[in-house]
A and B are shown apart, each in its own frame.
Chain A
C-alpha cells in the first residue's frame, strides 16, 4: 500500500541533503534548514531523522575529514540513494496530483 514512507521533517532533511550535494553533514544540514526555513532544528530531531532515513535506505553515509573544532571527530557526509530519489519523486508526484485536483477557486475566493 504505502510504497514509500516519508515524514514531513524527513522530507525536508532529504531535500536539504540533495541541495547541499556532497557537503551534507549534521551541522551543515541543521544550519541550512534553520537559515532557509526559519525553524529551529534540534540535534535530537535531526539525527533521529538521519538514522531513520538511513535505516529505510533513502540515504547513505561516508566518513569524511575532521576539523580542530570537532576534536578529531570525523564528519559524516550523507548522500541520497536511488531509493531515496524514488521516494522523493513519489512524494512530489502524489502532492502534485493532489494540487492539481484542488478546485481552482479555493484561493480565488479568499483573494477576492
Chain B
C-alpha cells in the first residue's frame, strides 16, 4: 500500500476545511474509496479529475459547516437574527454599573467628535468657495506677475484697458473687468426733504462690466442682467442693501443713490444676497462704464497700460478647446502688443477660479483666502483630537476588561464563539458612539455661532440636513466604533473561559499593558505638539502686537476726510482749530499712516541716473509735522519744509542700502525724480531710521516720503491720553461742521495695526481651544486609568501602608509611571513641534525664535495638569484607612 496514489492534497484539505466536522470522516472515506476504485479502472489522472469534481460538488449548504448551528442560549443571542435588544440591555447594565468610566468615555468621545465635526464644517466651508458658478471650471482671473529683484510676485490687478483689449484681440466674449471701490460713503437720494441724509459705507462696492454676470452666477430678483449695467451711472444692489437704503427692495428700481455727493447712480436691478462662500461678496455693483465718464477719477486710467491697481481685476471664461497653458502663451504676445516696452517685463497669466481662495499670495476681494496647507493642518488637528478620544476609549475599555471576564467565560461556556463576542462588544461601542455623535451634533449646533463670530465666517447653520455631513457623520460613527471598539473587543473575546471563570485574569498582568502605555504616550505626544504649537503661535502674536515698529502708535487716531478740492482748501484753518483744542498734542495730514494696508509704489531715478531703478519704493505722502507726531528718528539730515507741493524727500535706510549708499550723509542733497519729473524732481533732505510700513509678516520696503497736499486724505491726530473721550467728541463736531458732505469716522492706530493680524489672531484662538481640548481629553483618560488602578491596587496600598509607607510614597507609586510616559511623549513631541513651528514661522519676516522656554512651559504645564489629575485619586487612595481596605474581601 505504500505506493498507493493519493488524491490531490490541496482539494482534500479544502474539503476537510469546509466540511461539517460530524460528516467529515465518513464522506472523506467515501471519496477516498471511490478515488482508489477509479484509479484502478480509469487511471490516475481521470480519478484526480473526478475527485476534484466530487469535492466541488460537495460544496453545498448542507455539507458546509455553518457558524451558528446548534448553539444554545435562552436570550436568543445565538439565533440567526441580530440580538440587538439583548446587547443593548447588557451594554446598558454595564454602563450603569461603572458610571464614572462611562461618563469619562462618553465625555471624551463627545468633545472629540464635536471638535472634529466643527473642523469638518470649517474645511467644508473653506473648500466650497465659488463652487456654485456653472462655469466654475472655465473661469480664470488674469493676474499680473511683477518682476522684482527677489523673484516674481503675482498681483491681483491688471491695467484698466485689459478687459476691452482682450475682447478685441481674442474670440472671447465672456471677459469682464471689475473694480472694487474702497472708501467713501453712499446715500439714497430721498424725495422727502428735511430728514437727515442717511450715509452708508459699503465694504463691497464695485464697478463691473455687464459681462460679469455672464461669467458668475449671482441670482437676480429684479432687473435684466444683460443690460442693467451697460449704461454709465447705473447700479444694482443686493436685497439686504436695497432694504437698507430704501426700506423695501421692491421699491428700489428706478431710485437713485449718491456716492459722496459726487455721482448719482440709478438703480436698475436687485440681486439676491450672495451666498457666504464667495470671494466676490457683493453689496453694490455699479456700471464700469461710469469710470469712462470724464468726471470720473479714473477717466485718465482707462487707456493707461502702466498703472496697475490691485482692485481692478479681470475675469475670463475660456472655451473648452483652449487650455490654460495655450492661453498663457498667447497672453505673452498680448502684453507685448499693448504695454510700453519698459513694462513688458511684468507679464500676465491666468489663475483658475479654483485656485483663488487658496492662494494667499495674490489675495481676493473678500480678503478671506485660506491656504491649502492651513486646511491640511486644521484637518490634521481634527483627526488628532478624534484619535485622542478613541485612545481614551481603548485604554479604559481594556483596563476594565477584567470586570467582564466572567461574563465572557459564561458566554463561551454556553457556546458562543469569538466572532459573536466581538460583535457584542463592538455593538456596545457602537451604542456609546452613536449617543456621543448625537450629543456632539447638539454641542456643535450650540457652539457654531461662537465659532462663526470667532472666525468671522458664516458656516452652514442647519447643517444636519446636509447630505454630505450626514455621510460624514455615518463615516464618523463607523470609524470611531471600529477604531475604539475593535481592539478591546478582541482582548475581551480572547479570554480563556476556564481562566476567566476561575478568576485568574488580573488587570495589569496582560500584554495589553504595553499597548496601553504606548497609547498614553501617543495621546500626550499629540497633546504636547498642539500645546507647543499654540505657545509658539501665541507668543508670535504677542510679538506682533508689542514689537516696537519704529514710530509712536499710542493715543493716535486717524480721520478720513473727503478728497475734493473744496475740502482740501479748508485744511489749514482746520489745523489751527484742531490745535486750539486742549486735548490735542499734534496733528498732521497725510495719505496714509506709517503702517498701512496697500500703498503706493513706484520706481524712480536717483541722482540724475539715466534709467529708473529696478525696484519699487513705497511712496508715503505726508506733511512736515508727520515726523514729529510719529516720532520718526532721523539718522541724517532733517524733514522737508512745510509745503503743499513736493520740495524735498525723506528716504529710509533700506532705500539707501538698496541703492548701495553706505553713508546716509552722502544721500543728502541728491535728487530724486519720480514718474513725472516736472513736479516730483526734488532733493533728499533727510534719512529716517527704518520703521515698519506694513504688517510684520513682511520686511521693510524702501520708502520715499514727500509732501503732496493733493493726495492727502487723512488727519493724524495725537491726543493727550487723559482726555481722549472729550477730545473725540470735540473733533467730531469740528469735522462735521468743516466737511458737511463727509462721513466722519476715526480709527485708533494701534487698533488698526492690530487688525493686520486679525486672521492670525483668530487662528491662534482656535489653536488655543484645540490644545485645551486635547489636554483635557488626555487628562480625562489619565484620570480614568488612575482611578481604575486605584481600585485594583486597594489591597496593595493597604499592605504598603501597614508596612510603613507614607502618603508620599503611595502618591509616588501612582504618578511615577505616568510621569515617565509623559516625559517620553515630550521627547517625541518636542522636535516635532519645533520642526512644524519653524516652518510656520518661516513665512514671517519678523518672528520670534523658539527658545527652550516654550518647551519648558509645555512640559511643565502637561506634567502639572497630569499630576493634578492623578494626584487627586492617588492622594485619596493613599489616605484611605488600610484596615478597611484589607478587611473587605
Q: Which residues of A contact B (CB under 8 A)?
A: 25-27, 30, 42-45, 47-48, 51-52, 55, 61, 63, 66-71, 73-76
Contact (Cβ within 8 A) B32 A48: no
Tally B residues with Cβ within 8 Å of A: 23
Nearest neighbor of B53 in chain A, beta-carbon distance: A42
Given contacts A26-B27, A48-B63, A51-B23, contact A43 B32 (CB under 8 A): no
Is chain B's interface secondary structure helix, strand, loop, or mixed overall? helix
Query: Measured between alpha carbons, how far is A27 from B33 in the docked complex, in Å?
Result: 8
Contact (Cβ within 8 A) A44 B57: yes
What are 30 A-B residue pairs whose CB atoms fall within 8 Å in the complex? A26-B26, A27-B34, A30-B34, A42-B53, A43-B34, A43-B54, A43-B58, A44-B54, A44-B60, A44-B63, A47-B23, A47-B62, A48-B63, A51-B23, A51-B63, A67-B33, A68-B1, A69-B37, A70-B29, A70-B30, A73-B26, A73-B28, A73-B29, A73-B32, A74-B26, A74-B29, A75-B26, A75-B29, A76-B26, A76-B29
Instruction: Pick the most buried of B26, B56, B57, B58: most chain A CB atoms within 10 A of its CB.
Output: B26
Chain B residues near A55: list those with CB within 8 A: 62
Query: Measured between alpha carbons, how far is A25 from B26 in the docked complex, in Å?
Result: 9
Contact (Cβ within 8 A) B26 A63: yes
Is chain A's interface secondary structure helix, strand, loop, or mixed overall? helix
Query: Measured between alpha carbons, how far is A29 from B36 in the docked complex, in Å?
Result: 17
Nearest neighbor of B63 in chain A, beta-carbon distance: A47
Query: Measured between alpha carbons, how far is A66 from B62 in the docked complex, in Å?
Result: 24
Contact (Cβ within 8 A) B31 A43: yes
Given contacts A47-B23, A48-B63, contact A66 B29 (CB under 8 A): yes
CB distance from B2 to the nearest CB of A (A): 11
Query: Measured between alpha carbons, how far is A71 from B29 in the docked complex, in Å?
Result: 7
Contact (Cβ within 8 A) A70 B33: yes
In the complex, B464 has a CB within 8 A of chain A: no
Given contacts A63-B26, A68-B1, A73-B28, contact A51 B33 (CB under 8 A): no
Chain A residues near B53: list those with CB within 8 A: 42
CB distance from A44 to the nearest CB of B (A): 3
CB distance from A37 to the nearest CB of B (A): 18
Contact (Cβ within 8 A) B63 A74: no
Nearest neighbor of B54 in chain A, beta-carbon distance: A43
Chain B, residues 240-254, CB within 8 Å of chain A (1/0): the string is 000000000000000
Nearest neighbor of B24 in chain A, beta-carbon distance: A73
Chain B residues near A51: list those with CB within 8 A: 23, 62-63
CB distance from B463 to the nearest CB of A (A): 55
Given contacts A43-B57, A44-B58, A45-B57, contact A74 B34 (CB under 8 A): no
CB distance from A94 to the nearest CB of B (A): 26
Q: Which 5 A-B pairs have the closest CB atoms?
A: A73-B29, A44-B57, A76-B26, A26-B30, A70-B29
Query: Measured between alpha carbons, how far is A30 from B34 in the docked complex, in Å?
Result: 10
In the complex, B554 has a CB within 8 A of chain A: no
Chain A residues near B27: list those with CB within 8 A: 26, 43, 47
In the complex, B96 has a CB within 8 A of chain A: no
Query: Measured between alpha carbons, how far is A100 from B31 in the docked complex, in Å?
Result: 43
In the complex, B745 has a CB within 8 A of chain A: no
Contact (Cβ within 8 A) A27 B58: no
Chain B residues near A67: list those with CB within 8 A: 33
Q: A69-B37, A73-B29, A76-B29 are in contact. List 13 more A-B contacts (CB 8 A).
A: A26-B26, A27-B30, A42-B53, A44-B56, A45-B57, A47-B58, A47-B62, A47-B63, A52-B62, A69-B33, A70-B29, A71-B29, A75-B29
Query: Measured between alpha carbons, how far is A1 from B1 in the docked complex, in Å?
Result: 55
Query: Measured between alpha carbons, how far is A61 from B27 in the docked complex, in Å?
Result: 13
Query: Measured between alpha carbons, how far is A53 from B434 in the docked complex, in Å?
Result: 47
CB distance from A45 to the nearest CB of B (A): 7
Chain A residues near B446: list those with CB within 8 A: none
Query: Measured between alpha carbons, how far is A70 from B497 in the docked complex, in Å?
Result: 37
Contact (Cβ within 8 A) A48 B62: yes
Chain B residues near A63: list those with CB within 8 A: 26
Chain A residues near B26: list those with CB within 8 A: 25-26, 61, 63, 73-76
CB distance from A6 to the nearest CB of B (A): 16
